[in-house]
Chains A and B, each alone.
Chain A
Amino acid sequence: MTTPALRSALYLLLASLLLMSGCSTAPKQQGDTVEEAFFTPEKILGGGVTEYEDQEIYDPWQGFNRTMYRFNYYFDKYIFLPAVIGYFKITPDPVEKGIHNFFRNIQDLTTLYNSILQLNVEKTMNTTTRLLVNSTIGLLGFLDIANDVPRSDEDFGQTLGYWGVGTGPYLVLPVLGPSSVRDGIGQGVDWLAYNEMRRRATDMEAWQETGMDLLRAIDLRAHVKFLYYETNSPFEYELVRMLWTTKRELDIER
């Protein structure tokens, strides 16, 4: 069943551990003593600073995360974005829109069981309605007929957050981008559940499943309006980390 996925997850974990050991976030110092800059932290921030401009985000694996962030930039530049651009070129707009709706409809399944797990009656009702209408009259979700019914995105990371599980260390996942230990586990659980549902509901060949997954990845990327290293800030890593963390906090509150 999901052994290939499981196996790749294990490889990934192993590779990550190896990488982590090789990534230091310390700058390289030349000579024995650090020369003093014109403005030093002592002078500007004062001794024993307790209040910083930004909330401290727990990021003990920063070396690994920064390496992964950079990997994602290259992946995005040389693989993901060219694929997205090619996809847009060969797909007529209505088809592209239909495929996007189709995958959103599938995503609603994830939202459904997570809404139930979070005991959220309203979201469960809305998502059920959307799924029933769109999967039938909406032709398997290609048309978003239930457009008027509020749509939400719930995932297992949020469910864990709802039940009080802390985020754990910040984690940049390969290809998927910013996450945390909790949300990474959540993403894994949702992925396994999705595979299991697909296996039971369809009898797709392995290559068909792979094709569908690739298409889904491209569709997902096409709808994330972010370009690596285009924020004009030399502190983009920190910026993205802060924004992502804030976003997840709000997602869970909602």
Chain B
Amino acid sequence: MIRSLGLLLIACSWVVTGWAATEPYGYPFDDPFVATVVGTPDEDKAKFDIHVPTKRDSLTVFKDREVPDFLFYEAKLRYSYALQKKAAPLVFLIAGTGGAYNGGHISAQAKAFYHAGFHVVSLSSPTIPNFVVAASKTSVTGHAVHDAEDLYRVMELINTKLLKKTKITDYFLTGYSLGGFNAAFVSWLDEQRKVFNFRKVLLINPPVSLYSSISLLDRMLENIPGGVDNFPTYYSNIVSAFGKLYVRAERLDFSEDFLYRVYEALQPKNEELAALIGLSFRFSSAHLAFASDVMTDYGYVKPKNVRFTRNTDPGDYRRVVFRLGFTDYFHDYFYPYYKSLDPALDRHEVVEAMSLKRIEDYLHNADNIYVMHNHNDLILEAGEIDFFPRVFGERAKIYPTGGHLGNMEYKDNVAHMVDVFKSAVSGQEL
């Protein structure tokens, strides 16, 4: 009996392997932590031998906005675009948590789409200080609907500017990580406003529920050697290692490359990788919370009646904000802030609302929204991945490995990403 059960299991696994074998996937790292940190080795990346004529630009989103002295340099929203020489469809790209318009992943995406004949516009994530200061109506970002409205406003402004320079035949939209989540809500908003009428929308490794993803990410710092209490020493070690890397590094920013450089230099053990991922998101949450607090004078870490000048040393306030995570931001700033605007809000309902489940019916019925995801993505709770095949059906492409965004620049993934949009305009000359 047991033996035949064993045979049955072996037979089943053959069948499963048989399915998998129809589509061999060559991404090199099976471990989701390694994948997330290391990304795609250079030789496995999609390569395009072209020069992208990227232009950097900036725009004033709110004419009457008062920008605090301390953040004077963030008054205008920075973005970039690259235009084809003739009429072409345009892709809007939205970066993920803490990502700017000129980061590594988004630039790689821009190159791939430009190569395929699209105009491209690269937008920063609403979570970075520049967006918080220049483009968010409330300056308290991370809200599914408000972020989408902010992004929509920015996209309309940029679109108006670009239409003076070129012809745009169609609109496409994509984003990765939180940017994918943003893209879903922007598309949902476009159903009502109908400015862009996106031909296709592609969500890459989006969270399902924002709250469960930020909880997972905050908990990753518990993997710090010696526990969370050891944060100061750990942080100091990492930062000094990063300093050493910088000596050899070519440029300095907090893009996705940060993790890779730290990994290369320290060769950390597997369990330490989780802490590294947590730390990288901690930078994002600290930068977001601080910039937002300075904008609104809400009194999260900076006392309400204390104003920073252009020369103010943030001192201990900076140290405090690095000890706080996304969940602190949610419970002790984000939620109370929106509650003060609308007393009828309920904490649990807000958590529920910051989720793709909120627009599940829309996502299920909209046949132009596609998703790419990984079975072992670290920002999803166990079982959350099933949401995508269930809701998107054939429009969901789930890879067996890749962790969180690790395989985003892998050649197969890039080819699929481009194909999703290109198939919509096939027959048309690009």
Q: Which residues of A pack against B, CB within 8 Å?
A: 23-31, 34-41, 44-45, 51-55, 62-63, 66-67, 70, 73, 225-226, 228-235, 238, 242-243, 245-247, 250-251
Contact = CB atoms under 8 A, between A and B. Distances in A.
A175 B254 CA distance: 24
B211 interface: no
A38 B304 CA distance: 10
A234 B309 CA distance: 13
Interface in B223-275: 231-233, 235-236, 239-240, 242-244, 246-247, 250-254
Contacts of A39: 300-301, 320-321, 324, 328, 332
A31 B305 contact: yes
Contact of A54 (B236, B283, B320): B236
Contacts of B291: 234
B303 interface: yes
Interface in B266-320: 283, 287, 290-291, 294, 299-314, 316-320
Interface string B376-408: 000000000000000000000000000000000
Contact of B306 (A28, A67, A70): A28
A247 B243 contact: yes
A229 B78 CA distance: 11
Nearest to B100: A232
A242 B303 contact: no
A202 to B, nearest CB: 34
Contacts of B254: 231-233
11 contacts: A27-B309, A28-B307, A38-B299, A39-B321, A53-B231, A53-B236, A62-B311, A226-B252, A235-B314, A238-B314, A238-B318
B128 interface: yes
A242 to B, nearest CB: 6
Given A41-B319, A73-B73, 6 more contacts: A30-B305, A36-B299, A52-B236, A53-B239, A232-B100, A233-B254
B176 interface: no
Nearest to B314: A235
A49 to B, nearest CB: 8
Contact of A23 (B129, B243, B311, B332): B311
A243 B317 contact: no
A45 B232 CA distance: 10
A235 B308 CA distance: 13
B232 A53 contact: yes
Which residue, of A28, A36, A45, A53, has the highest number of chain B Cβ atoms within 10 A?
A53
Contacts of B299: 35-38
A232 B250 contact: no
B308 to A, nearest CB: 5
Contact of B317 (A30, A41, A233): A41
A35 B303 contact: yes
Going nearest first, the 7 A-B pairs with the smallest beta carbon separation are A246-B243, A41-B316, A25-B313, A225-B251, A229-B73, A30-B305, A53-B235
A45 B316 contact: yes
Contacts, number: 152
A205 B235 CA distance: 53
Contact of A29 (B98, B290, B306, B314): B306
Nearest to A239: B252
B70 interface: yes
Contact of A45 (B235, B319, B333): B319
Interface string B194-223: 000000000000000000000000000000
Contact of B287 (A25, A234, A238, A242): A234
Nearest to A29: B306
Interface residues of B, number: 60
A25 B300 contact: no
Nearest to A50: B232
Contacts of A44: 319-320, 323-324
B310 A41 contact: no
A31 to B, nearest CB: 5
A128 to B, nearest CB: 25
Which residue, of A41, A51, A55, A245, has the highest number of chain B Cβ atoms within 10 A?
A41
B71 interface: yes
Contacts of B305: 29-31, 34-35
A44 B286 CA distance: 14
A239 B128 CA distance: 16
B130 interface: yes
Interface in B89-108: 98, 100, 102
Nearest to B306: A27
A38 B301 contact: yes
A243 B333 contact: no
Contacts of A229: 73-74
A226 B250 CA distance: 9
Contacts of A230: 100, 102, 253
B113 interface: no
B319 A53 contact: yes
A41 B315 CA distance: 10
A26 B74 CA distance: 21
Contacts of A31: 305
Contacts of A41: 316-317, 319-320
A242 B318 contact: no
A23 to B, nearest CB: 5
B240 to A, nearest CB: 6
B243 A242 contact: yes
A53 B240 CA distance: 10
Contacts of B70: 234
